Amino acid sequence: MTMMKSPLSMSILMDRGPQLSSDVEIVTRFRDRLHRTNYGEVGRRARQLANALRSLGVTPGDRIASFGWNTHRHLELYYAVPSMGAILHTLNLRLSPADLEYIINHAEDRIIFIDEDLLPLLERLAGKMPTVKQVVVMSNTGEFKTVLEPALDYETLLAAESAEYTWPDLDENTPMGLCYTSGTTGKPKGVLYTHRSNYLHTITGSLPELLGLDRQATVLAVVPMFHANAWGMPFTALMLGIKQVYPGAMMDGASICQLIQDEKVTFTAGVPTIWLGVMNELRNNPGKYDLSSLRTMVCGGSAPPRALIDWFETNLGVEFIQAWGMTETSPLGTVSRLKPHMLEWPRERQLDVKQRAGMSAPGLELRILDAVNKEVPHDGVSMGRLLIRGPWIASSYYREEPTEDKFPDGWLDTGDVATIDAEGYMSIADRSKDLIKSGGEWISSVDLENAIMAIPGVAEAAVIAVFHPKWQERPLACVVTRPGTTLSKEEIITQLEKQFAKWWMPDEIVFIETIPKTSVGKFDKKVLRQQFADFELPG
Ligand code: ADP
């Protein structure tokens, strides 16, 4: 015999914080006040919640949906639902009613837990969710009205239950979480996480090598809990018992700055759009906030502009860590941090590294392949389709057979096109669908966007492919300028010419009011491409 085959069960990890750090705080921002609780209380309430679910007839494998902001109640759902053997399906509250209806019915959700202020979004689907037998409203007053029925009040439900509950022994491959991709491309697809996959993801994600989290930290998860498990932070924090701060619905720059200052946040994570908002707030109000507690900012979901990374590191003295991942990868895939010998490098060279998506997390394998599935050289320039493999990578979509194009030979084809450099740092050149294929050669829209967004006076920029009779596709740059600035096409071209080969240069630059965004705040190039579908490039 060798070692014990103890199942990798998430309840064991999640019980650790409440057991060892019962007094450590968990703070939630509501519109009118801050709510304070602690690990001990969350541990007890998670057990009350599990008892309530049992009283409502929930059995192992049932899909229990959440439709909520980042709050302590959402954390209790993260904790209780998987620990009792059911599956937490986090619903993206920014989805269109049609996508939401599709997802709820595809998952066959049985109960939906919803924040009171979000009721109107779900009420549009009243009568269209045949499998949903119960709605539970997470309200601060208990005085809500809704056409959805039957509806119960979360706090009343918990109050009636005992805080004694023994988590069942579960096989490590028991499913525990379900999240649908936000549909930047095509229909949403479900990704089903297991205890084992999340356990390994949580342990790995807490390595200092990756995000530099430790028990002294105070974590503010701005990335939504409905978006790829808030990048695993609620689980990691529960395991380590570190202070958590949740922003609720208040994710604008001013609210985030205030929260970081008041709660002395040291570690935070979110998508670039959030950090652009924070940067603008700080720039517009010099001296208003004291953010000296902040040490680490994690940014992923789309490529952070170089200027953004540089601004935060220079002005706040934080470490700005870029990460790459997907719903299908739990989501932690790669993280970009400097190796020791790079600490001596000049600033611009360090920024070159920080602008890359980074090195793979331990336990994961990456490959980049060309059109005939040959490995592309790791020279930092050659682009290939990015494939990934590992214990927390999806092997198929929920209720679908794995297709050979998406899951070739047991790998996941990410749909991203990437380069890997000699140091092992991966960089996303594009999503395959966004890549500009000009005369058989590939142009990275992301590289062009980053360069344009680094020009003072530019607020946002997206580069898309438009039809060209000779080259098939050519780049069109859509630029949003900062209020009160004037910028000409020529000024942008002059800047780009310093950095790119002639055949990479956008054929045209258009100034637009705003760039359409997806439900998780990424540039929605699908919409932009439709807007410019008939665009004729200058001769
Ligand atoms: P969706 O696929 O619905 O947009 P995901 O959140 O799963 O939702 O998005 C994953 C995708 O986001 C990746 O495949 C990649 O294209 C993009 N992405 C994530 N992180 C980065 C990053 N650091 N740099 C560039 N692109 C990123």
Residue 221 backbone phi and psi in degrees, to 5: -90, 105
State which of 428, 445, 453 you would mutate to test the pocket of ligand 1, scoring each by most atoms of that ligand within 8 A of its C-beta.
Answer: 428
* CA gap 136, 154 in Å, rounded: 6
pLDDT by position in tens, the chain (length 539): 899 999 999 999 999 999 999 999 999 999 989 999 999 999 999 999 999 999 999 999 999 999 999 999 999 999 999 999 999 999 999 888 999 999 999 999 999 999 999 999 999 999 999 999 999 999 999 999 999 999 999 999 999 999 999 999 999 999 999 999 865 556 799 999 999 999 999 999 999 989 989 889 999 999 999 999 999 999 999 999 999 999 999 999 999 999 999 999 999 999 998 998 999 999 999 999 999 999 999 999 988 988 899 999 999 999 999 999 999 999 999 999 999 999 999 999 999 999 999 999 999 999 999 989 999 999 999 999 999 999 999 999 999 999 999 999 999 999 999 999 999 999 999 888 898 988 878 899 988 998 999 999 999 999 999 999 888 999 999 999 999 898 999 999 999 999 998 999 999 999 999 999 887 778 899 899 999 999 988 87
Token digits of residue 26 = 């968990």
Give the closest residue (by CA) to ligand 1 atom 2: 181
Token digits of residue 247 = 């922003």
CB 101 within 8 A of CB 129: yes
* CA gap 525, 523 in Å, rounded: 6
- The residue written with tokens 């085959």 in the block is 5
Give the closest residue (by CA) to ligand 1 atom 11: 326
Give the closest residue (by CA) to ligand 1 atom 12: 301
Domains located in the chain, CATH noted: 10-251 (3.40.50.12780), 363-431 (2.30.38.10), 436-531 (3.30.300.30)
Pocket of ligand 1 (CB under 6 A): 181-184, 228, 300-303, 322, 324-327, 357, 414-416, 428, 431, 520, 522
For residue 461, report the distance from its CA to the centre of ligand 1, in Å. Answer: 17
Atom nearest to 227 CA in ligand 1: 6
For residue 106, report the distance from its CA to the centre of ligand 1, in Å. Answer: 23
The beta strands (E) that lie in 482-538 are given as 508-511
CA R_g for the chain:
23
CA distances from 40 to 160, 178, 243, 343, 344 (A): 19, 27, 12, 41, 45
Look up the pTM and report it. 0.91
